[in-house]
């Protein structure tokens, strides 16, 4: 069954997003990009910009599923807390729009896309380029990571159906 998936790589300064449509065997790029926030703005204002930006993407492209990166352990507690707040805002936008929400750990995404859970960002970009049959690597890496999350969902959800 063909489905449209919005992948989100959360970030408080640069949030990557990408939309892929298809199933686990055949899919194609719809669109990708970033939502940038001014780091000099109050954090609450940056969260509002992210929420509005994600809501606009959902409204414009009408995905059915939101695939987002799970929280990972960060050495810097403040960074981890801010990332958690960004994830919450993104998931709120998805829930408000009635999307199915899927969360994936970074290692699983890399394993699914590259075949190696500790892959570098450049390797993920290159495999996303190959899988989506793009002429150039998607830039910046935040958007490539978001596309990887969308592709990962298509593959993992199909495996769950086979069980």
- Residue spans of the domains in the chain: they are 3-162
Percent of the chain with pLDDT over 90: 81
Per-residue pLDDT tens over the stretch 151-160: 999 999 865 6
Peptide bond between residue 140 and the one before it cis (omega within 30 degrees of 0): yes
Instruction: Assess whether 23 carries a catalytic annotation.
Output: no
User: Which entry of 56, 69, 70, 95 is annotated as an active-site residue?
Assistant: 69
DSSP 2: -
Per-residue pLDDT tens over the stretch 104-159: 999 999 999 999 888 899 999 999 999 999 999 999 999 999 999 999 999 998 65
Instruction: Assess whether 9 carries a catalytic annotation.
Output: yes
User: Which entry of 23, 103, 142, 145 is annotated as an active-site residue?
Assistant: 142
* Helices assigned H by DSSP within 11-135: 43-61, 77-96, 106-114, 121-131
Instruction: Assess whether 145 carries a catalytic annotation.
Output: no
pTM, 2 dp: 0.94
According to CATH, the superfamily of the domain at 3-162 is Ribonuclease H-like superfamily/Ribonuclease H (3.30.420.10)
């Amino acid at each position: 069954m063909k489905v449209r998936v919005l992948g989100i790589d959360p970030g408080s300064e640069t949030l990557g997003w990408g939309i892929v449509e298809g199933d686990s065997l055949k899919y194609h790029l719809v669109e990708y990009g970033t939502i940038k926030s001014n780091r000099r703005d109050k954090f609450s204002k940056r969260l509002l910009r992210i929420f509005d930006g994600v809501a606009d993407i959902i409204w414009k492209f009408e995905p059915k599923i939101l695939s987002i990166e799970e929280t990972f352990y960060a050495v810097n507690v403040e960074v981890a807390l801010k990332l958690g707040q960004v994830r919450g805002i993104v998931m709120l936008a998805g829930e408000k729009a009635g999307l199915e929400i899927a969360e994936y750990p970074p290692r699983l995404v890399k394993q699914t896309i590259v075949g190696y859970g500790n892959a570098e960002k450049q390797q993920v970009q290159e495999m996303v380029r190959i899988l989506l049959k793009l002429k150039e690597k998607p830039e910046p890496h935040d958007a490539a990571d978001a596309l990887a999350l969308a592709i990962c969902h298509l593959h993992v959800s199909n495996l769950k159906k086979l069980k």
